[in-house]
Chain A
Amino acid sequence: GENVEQHPSTLSVQEGDSAVIKCTYSDSASNYFPWYKQELGKGPQLIIDIRSNVGEKKDQRIAVTLNKTAKHFSLHITETQPEDSAVYFCAASLNSGGSNYKLTFGKGTLLTVNP
Chain B
Amino acid sequence: ETGVTQTPRHLVMGMTNKKSLKCEQHLGHNAMYWYKQSAKKPLELMFVYNFKEQTENNSVPSRFSPECPNSSHLFLHLHTLQPEDSALYLCASSQATGLGAFFGQGTRLTVV
Chain B nearest CB from A50 CB (Å) reads: 10
Q: Write the residues of chain B forming the contact surface with A, with a CB cutoff of 8 angstroms.
A: 2, 4, 6, 40-43, 45, 48, 50, 55-56, 90, 92, 96-106
Instruction: Say what secondary structure dominates the interface of chain B.
Output: loop
Cα separation A103 to B58 with both chains bound (whole Å): 12
Chain A nearest CB from B98 CB (Å) reads: 2
- Which of A34, A96, A105 is in CB contact (< 8 Å) with B42? A105
Q: How many A-B residue pairs have CB under 8 A?
A: 69
Chain B nearest CB from A91 CB (Å) reads: 8
What are 15 A-B contacts with C-beta separation under 8 Å? A43-B2, A43-B6, A43-B90, A43-B92, A44-B90, A96-B97, A99-B96, A100-B55, A100-B56, A102-B45, A102-B48, A102-B98, A103-B45, A105-B43, A107-B40
Cα separation A60 to B90 with both chains bound (whole Å): 28
Q: Write the residues of chain A forming the contact surface with B, with a CB cutoff of 8 angstroms.
A: 4, 32, 34, 36, 41-46, 49, 89, 93-97, 99-108
A46 touches B101 (CB 8 A): yes
A103 touches B98 (CB 8 A): yes
A45 touches B43 (CB 8 A): no
